[in-house]
Amino acid sequence: MFDAIVIGSGMSGGIAAKELCEAGLKVLVLERGNDVDPGKDYTDMVMPWEFPNAMRVPEDEVARDYPVQSQCYAFSEATKHFWVKDSDHPYTTPADKDFTWIRGYHTGGRSIMWGRQSYRLSDLDFEANAKDGFGVDWPIRYADIAPWYDKMEKFVGVAGDRDGLPQLPDGENYLPGFELNDAEKQFKAAVESKWSSRKVIIGRTANLSVAKPWHEELGRSSCNNRSICERGCSFGAMHSSLTNSLPAARRTNNLTLVTDAIVHSIIQDPKTGKATGVRVIDRKTKVGRTYEARLVFLNASAINSAYILLNSASEHNPNGLANGSDQVGRNIMDHMYALSTAGMFPGPKDSYYKGRRPTGIYIPRFRNYAEDGDGYVRGYGYQGGVSRLGSRPRAGMPGIGAELKEQGRHIGPWMAYISGFGEMLPNPENRVTLEKTAKDQWGMPIPHIECKQGPNEAKMAKQILADGRAMLEAAGAFVVNQAKEAGPPGLGIHEMGTVRMGRDPKTSVLNGWNQAHEVPNLFCTDGGAMASSGCVNPSLTYMALTARAADHAVKLMKEGAI
């Protein structure tokens, strides 16, 4: 019998483990995939020319095993082992509703390959549902979570500037922000002089620009500006659950990590209403077993957390556990992405930079804030950068021989690119359900995902592209490439909303402490909990919600309330 079980060892599960272990609880973390050994599994010390096949995954293997995962920019021969085989982990979608579900099943989950951008939500986000009526009101406001953002930013190490923008609150504990290059400074000046409501700032990122003693205690050191973070960082300079949260949990001697344990369902005692344990299926032997605990944290990632609740249906809970509201699995949101604009930029001719900075520029939200949106609610931000275009010759351009080789020797021109990330509204019809008959190799029902962007998203996407073009052109860039529409949901890799927080048990699954309305000792603190998506990268919010919920759960346990 453990004090607590944490389902999932990734971004939020690692924090749950750390916080609960540090509070003195004996914690079992269940990870469905294999363990990862940084010494063996990281490829960040392999030189580019040492990879077979020029870092490309064999074409037949991509088609057979990775048709979805290979769509992620970070998928390559160097990282292949960090992505699930789609062939092993099937899901279904309607033919006209693509959903690109990106997954990493191993210790640390997707926190090994994540994009590291770390921003806070603000009250602009926490009040949005109540103001415009989409979704249900968040049961918390910014002041409730702000101290937990502070705590998490200090622990993970977020490098960023304090920009003083109400829609993008600053952290108290930022490490020094990475500096803009000369062309980015020029771009910033041009955009900000034309629009006083728009700001160009350095992207806030979970890379240790300067490691602090509490980072070094966990074996982490400062960033070396390699920008191959997705291969795993042997310097521990980027935050991951594997090399930061779990080691912090482990040093308390309160952590037990069991890998290859696929959670089947959560068991509820119908008399007390409490969760008593978790059923798992061994990934290798396919044999089932049960673990018991006084407290359960569900951190399997948004779709899988909803899946586990749905699969926990029983005589008493025919629609799944904690699902009296019928909201479990609904309201999938993912940020709109791939709304990119790129252009040649008249940057300083004799200026260059050295090193591969692990972040880019960020343009915080200005629509439906300081500037009106064109017929939609909510807003968007941009990520991007201004960099020297790779000078390597490109196969798709005419040219061979000495001329081609000579071209590769010159430092390329400046290119500016910005890509919008747009908020998606909660829509109950966007949902994950369980296939009635189709099962995977472990006998588990296959998830069925139905998710589509709606008219609000379509209108927003138009303005994301128009504003992107306008800002590049205002800064003197010549636009050479622009997307036409957002990619289908999923590949933003910010899926969330399926186990939402809310004030009313009739319309939400979790209360203001991420505690299931119907199961008092069950907490869900991954992306599932999100009542709205905001437009910023969400991992930091998941971590802050987790630390806050863990603190509350421990208090309730001490009081004997759960």
Partner 1 sequence: MIDEIAMNRRALMGRIGLLIGAAALPPEAFALPKGKAAKKFLAAPQFATLSAVADTVIPADETPGAVGVGVPRLIDGMLVTWASADTRGQIVGVLAAIDKLARDADRKSFAALSPERRKALLVPYDKDAMKPGPKPTEKLTALQAMMAGPPVMNPSWVKLKDLIITLYYTSEVAMTKEEIYEHVPGKWVPSLKITPGMRPFASGGPF
Interface of this chain with partner 1, residues 50 to 89, rule: CB under 8 A: 50-60, 63, 71, 73-74, 76, 78
Name the residue nearer to partner 1 (CB basis): 252 or 407: 407
From 191-199, 259-267, 403-411, 445-453, give the range in contact with partner 1 by CB under 8 A. Answer: 403-411
Cβ nearer to partner 1, comparing 2 with 75: 75
Nearest to partner 1 of 293, 449 (CB atom)? 449
**Of 11-19, 210-218, 224-232, 370-378: span binding partner 1 (CB under 8 A):** 224-232
For residues 524 and 514, what is the distance between their CA atoms, to the nearest angstrom?
A: 6
Q: For residues 364 and 328, what is the distance between their CA atoms, to the nearest angstrom?
A: 31
- Region of 29-37, 123-131, 223-231, 367-375 interacting with partner 1 (CB under 8 A): 223-231
Looking at the DSSP assignment, which residues form a beta bridge with residue 388? 414
Q: Which window, 4-12, 220-228, 434-442, 517-525, contacts partner 1 (CB under 8 A)?
A: 220-228
Residue of 315, 350, 372, 559 that binds partner 1 (CB under 8 A): 350
| AA identity, residue 255 | L
| Token pair listed for 327 | 């909201």
Q: Are 65 and 57 in contact (CB under 8 A)?
A: no
Rule CB under 8 A: is residue 537 a binding residue for partner 1? no
357 binds partner 1 (CB under 8 A): yes
Please tell me whether residue 224 binds partner 1 under the rule CB under 8 A.
yes
Shortest approach of partner 1 to residue 234 CB, angstroms? 10
- Count the alpha carbons within 13 Å of 236 in the hemisphere toward its beta carbon: 20
Comparing CB distances to partner 1, the nearer of 286 and 356 is 356
Q: Where are the alpha helices (DSSP H) in 46-195?
A: 59-65, 123-126, 128-132, 142-156, 182-194
96, 315, 402, 437: residue in contact with partner 1 (rule CB under 8 A):
402
- For the segment 200-219, give every residue that binds partner 1 (CB under 8 A): none
Q: Binding to partner 1 (CB under 8 A): which residues in 408-427?
A: 408-412
Please give the structure tokens belonging to residue 33.
Answer: 């995939």
CA distance 240 to 114: 8
Decide if residue 273 touches partner 1 (CB under 8 A): no
The Cα–Cα gap between 18 and 23 comes to 9
x/- track of binding to partner 1 for residues 136-165 (CB under 8 A): ------------------------------
Residue 188 region, left (φ>0) first, then alpha (ψ -120 to 50), else beta? alpha
CA pair distance 534, 540, nearest whole angstrom:
13
Which 490-529 residues touch partner 1, going by CB under 8 A?
Answer: 491
Of the residues 397, 436, 437, 559, which one makes contact with partner 1 according to CB under 8 A = 397
- Neighbouring-strand partners of residue 202: 361
Q: By CB under 8 A, tell whether 225 contacts partner 1.
A: yes
Measured N-to-C along each axis, helices 539-559 and 11-22 cross at an angle, to the nearest 10 degrees, of: 30
Picking from 551, 512, 15, the residue whose alpha carbon sits closest to that of residue 246 is 15
- Segment near partner 1 (CB under 8 A), from 250-258, 284-292, 483-491, 542-550? 483-491
Between CA 304 and CA 7 the distance in angstroms is: 10
Q: Which of 311, 331, 330, 333 is nearest to 321 (CA)?
A: 311
Look at the chain and count its residues. 562
Q: Which is nearer to partner 1, 401 or 560 (CB)?
A: 401
CB of 226 to partner 1, least distance (A): 6
Residue 130 CA to residue 123 CA, distance in Å, equals 11
Size of the site for partner 1 (CB under 8 A): 75
Q: Does 95 bind partner 1 (CB under 8 A)?
A: no
Q: Which is nearer to partner 1, 350 or 372 (CB)?
A: 350
Q: How far is CA 141 from CA 461, 530, 531, in A?
A: 27, 13, 12
Report the candidate in 395, 447, 359 with the shortest Cα–Cα distance to residue 68. 447
Binding residue for partner 1, selected from 39, 315, 395, 436, defined by CB under 8 A: 395
N-term to C-term CA, the chain: 16
- Which residue in the set 34, 221, 276, 351 belongs to the binding site for partner 1 (CB under 8 A)? 351
- 263 by DSSP, 3-state: which? strand
Residues 372-391 that bind partner 1 (CB under 8 A): 388, 390-391
Of the candidates 80, 204, 231, 264, which one interacts with partner 1 according to CB under 8 A? 231
- Select from 5, 257, 483, 501 the one that contacts partner 1 (CB under 8 A): 483
- Return the range that interacts with partner 1 (CB under 8 A); candidates 42-50, 162-170, 312-320, 505-513: 42-50
Strands 431-439 and 275-282: unpaired
Residue closer to partner 1 (CB basis): 143 or 402 = 402
State the minimum distance, in angstroms, from the CB of residue 421 to partner 1: 13
Binding residues for partner 1 restricted to 328-347, rule: CB under 8 A: 338, 340
Minimum distance from residue 243 beta carbon to partner 1 (Å): 17
| CA angle 170–176–180, rounded 5-degree value | 95
Question: Which tokens belong to 163?
Answer: 């920009």
The residue within the footprint of partner 1, chosen from 40, 271, 354, 436 (CB under 8 A), is: 354
Rounded Cα distance between 317 and 304, Å, is 18
Nearest distance in Å: CB 409, partner 1: 6
Q: Which of 164, 134, 162, 222 is nearest to 426 (CA)?
A: 134
**Which of residues 284 and 410 has its CB atom nearest to partner 1 in the complex?**
410
Nearer to partner 1, 436 or 484 (CB): 484
